[in-house]
């Protein structure tokens, strides 16, 4: 398989090394991405993707952690308790139809800047082992976050937290939670061990899939998520069609304070119709995170 590289295109100088990274957008939502199982799954896939030198570097950093013994478990650290809360999301204006560049729309930090900063710390030589350990745990979490579609969305409805599922099985919550965990748990994990699910997903990816996914920018990752967010059948945008304004409700462009929240129904068909999208997003996140860590910790291996 011909190796390609994750494209992180703004050139910075860190410790004499050329670093390529994307600057970013920002948002603020109060929910976790993928839930604990989802983040563990992304990072387990990534760990299985690592070359020996990179894997040894990750294990060495984690050997200094007093809480975690595996990379997959450490990727929930950023949520327990919540750390760097403003950097878990990308929010854009309601009229946006795609993520065309990395210009910040709200505030000065976001998922893009979070990824940039922690990649820089991990590349720094010699660097502080404690700082690198934190950066590793953050980076694993951030790459999972950016692949959860509703983490690339709008601030007024908190990325679907203010779109309420009718109080019926199987999910019984809000739209953000449906995509965080319900589809994943009900249709992909289904009570199995994370390592087994990770292997199954990795085995389903062809070499061509990996090459295509790795040959991408962080902006591409966000845009892929945003396209899913805006799909009409996701029920986030009201009657959304390609290229149109994403309304909160039929006569309401956005949700303002005090306005009634709308409800939607998640049924078996909803879970089934989106399971492949969730599966692909999790797998892409793991493969791309693995490739990024390989570049950071095994830089002497050039792309072919």
pLDDT in tens, 232-288: 999 999 866 677 889 999 888 999 999 999 998 899 999 999 999 999 999 999 999
Q: Which two tokens stand for residue 260?
A: 């009634």
Instruction: Report which secondary-structure segment, H or E, holds 141.
Output: helix 129-146
Rounded to the nearest integer, the mean pLDDT of the chain is 87
Q: Which two structure tokens, joined as six digits, stand for 220?
A: 């591409």
Higher-confidence position of 81 and 10:
81
> Which of these, 5, 1, 76, lies nearest to 290 by C-alpha position?
5
Model pLDDT for residues 199-234, shown as the tens digit of each residue: 999 999 999 999 999 999 999 999 999 999 999 999
Count of alpha carbons within 13 angstroms of residue 261, beta-carbon side: 17
Q: Which of 5-9, 94-98, 141-145 comes out lowest in average pLDDT?
A: 5-9
Least confident stretch, 8-12, 89-93, 179-183: 8-12
Q: Annotate 236-293 with three-state secondary structure.
A: CCECCCCCCCCECECCECCCCCCCCCCEECCCHHHHHHHHHHHHHHHHHHHHHHHHHH
């Amino acid at each position: 398989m011909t190796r390609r590289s994750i494209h992180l295109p703004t050139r910075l100088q860190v410790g004499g090394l050329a670093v390529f990274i994307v600057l970013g957008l920002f948002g603020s939502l109060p929910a976790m991405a993928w839930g604990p199982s989802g983040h563990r799954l992304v990072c387990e896939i990534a760990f299985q993707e690592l070359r020996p030198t990179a894997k040894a570097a990750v294990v060495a950093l984690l050997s200094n952690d007093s809480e975690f013994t595996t990379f997959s478990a450490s990727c929930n650290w950023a949520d327990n308790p919540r750390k760097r809360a403003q950097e878990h999301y990308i929010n854009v204006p309601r009229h946006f139809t795609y993520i065309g560049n990395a210009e910040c729309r709200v505030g000065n930090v976001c998922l893009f800047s979070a990824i940039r900063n922690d990649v820089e710390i991990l590349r720094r030589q010699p660097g502080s082992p404690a700082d690198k350990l934190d950066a590793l745990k953050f980076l694993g979490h951030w790459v999972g976050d950016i692949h959860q579609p509703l983490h690339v969305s709008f601030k007024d409805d908190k990325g679907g937290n203010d779109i309420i599922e009718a109080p019926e099985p199987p999910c019984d919550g809000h739209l953000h939670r449906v995509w965080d965990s319900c589809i994943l748990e009900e249709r992909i994990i289904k009570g199995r061990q994370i390592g087994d699910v990770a292997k199954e997903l990795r085995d389903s990816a062809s070499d061509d899939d990996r090459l295509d996914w790795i040959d991408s920018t962080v902006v591409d990752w966000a845009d892929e998520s945003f396209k899913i967010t805006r799909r009409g059948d996701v029920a986030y945008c009201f009657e959304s069609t390609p290229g149109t304004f994403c309304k909160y409700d039929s006569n309401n462009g956005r949700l303002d304070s005090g306005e009634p929240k709308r409800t939607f129904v998640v049924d078996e068909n909803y879970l089934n119709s989106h399971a492949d999208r969730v599966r692909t997003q999790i797998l892409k996140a793991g493969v791309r995170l693995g490739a990024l860590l390989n570049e950071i910790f095994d830089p002497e291996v050039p792309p072919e």
